[in-house]
Amino acid sequence: MGTIIQTYQLTKKFKEQEVIKPLDFSVKKGEICALIGKNGAGKSTLFKILSGQIMPTAGEFQLFGKSGKEMDQAKKRMGFIIEAPVFFPDFTAIQNLEYFRLQRGVVEKKRIYEVLEIVGLENQKRKRFRDYSMGMKQRLGIALCLLSNPDCLVLDEPINGLDAEGIMEIRHLLKKLNQEKQITIFISSHILTELEQLATRYVFIKNGVIVDDLSKESLEAKSKKQILLSVSDPAKSSQILERTFADIQFKVLPNQVITIQNHVESSGEINRLLVDQGVVVKEFRIEALNLEEYFLGLVEEISHD
């Protein structure tokens, strides 16, 4: 698998503050890599260095294995949304993209219609940009990124400010670009739950340092599931559970709630068992520790060092 982005001891200081501490990091071809961190963790700074908006203080990086003079060629294979692109409010999508096509020297005019179809805006020919919903504006931003047929998209907080429907649209679009067009995606957000359903890899950043780097599989293993029960008689329920499962791990919480950490696959049996023994089960659900909780745990752990 080829490497698209590679950094070597990449560092950025603003005055005395080191916003990116020496960073060795790579994004591989085909990944949807999520960079996750609180605001101010260094996400946008890293993206701005990669796009050439700001220069690193030390270290270097390569795009598609190229650096130095060859970097300009490599950049043409990248599409960046670092800040919301500035579109003309009175222009339609086609007029806006035609302006940028000419400005960026994209040869074929038909590419405009192709990208509008890819992002699902082909039926909005007459609508002016100012009448777009937030989700449509983001999709046009991605269409602009796609004009030059890039192999990799770098998207800084593209779902920020979107409603649930807008987030879902962008998520489906990015998955489609990754799976059908084989576009590698490097995306940042502080809304973790959204990236949980999108990314194939999760990189957690705090104060300019990568504190964890997980594949989707490792994350799922860490996001252990548990059973949560609300019962009429916690004491009786505890006895039944201990009698039936020798190695059961559970906690009795306030408000007659019990959480069971293992035997999740026997959830139906556990529910039936309690009901058969006369326990009223008011609530029964399986919940996973989500990415948000995992990340908060990670950040807290680090700040206690």
pLDDT-derived band at 303 (thresholds 50, 70, 90) equals very low
pLDDT at 287: 81
Whether the pLDDT of residue 305 is over 50: the answer is no
pLDDT-derived band at 218 (thresholds 50, 70, 90) equals confident
235 and 128 in a common domain: no
Contacts of 9 (CB under 8 A, 6+ apart): 22, 23, 24, 58, 59, 60
**Token pair listed for 223:** 């996001």
162 and 29 in a common domain: yes
d(CA 196, CA 295): 12
pLDDT-derived band at 219 (thresholds 50, 70, 90) equals confident
CATH code, 244: 3.30.70.260
276 and 213 in a common domain: no
Judged on CB neighbours under 10 Å (0-12, 13-18, 19+), 152 is: buried
181 and 76 in a common domain: yes
d(CA 91, CA 130): 8
**Does residue 298 fall inside a structural domain?**
no
pTM over 0.85: no
Q: Would you say the C-alpha torsion 123, 124, 125, 126 has a positive or negative sign?
A: positive
CA dihedral 258, 263, 266, 270 (to 10 degrees): -30
d(CA 232, CA 172): 43
Domain that holds residue 177: 3-221
38 and 123 in a common domain: yes
111 and 199 in a common domain: yes
231 and 152 in a common domain: no
Q: What is the mean pLDDT of residues 83-102?
A: 93
Q: Any bridge partners for residue 204, and if so which?
A: 36, 212
256 and 210 in a common domain: no
217 and 228 in a common domain: no
Q: How many domains does the chain divide into? A: 2
pLDDT at 95: 96
pLDDT at 290: 67
What's the mean pLDDT when you consider all of the chain? 90
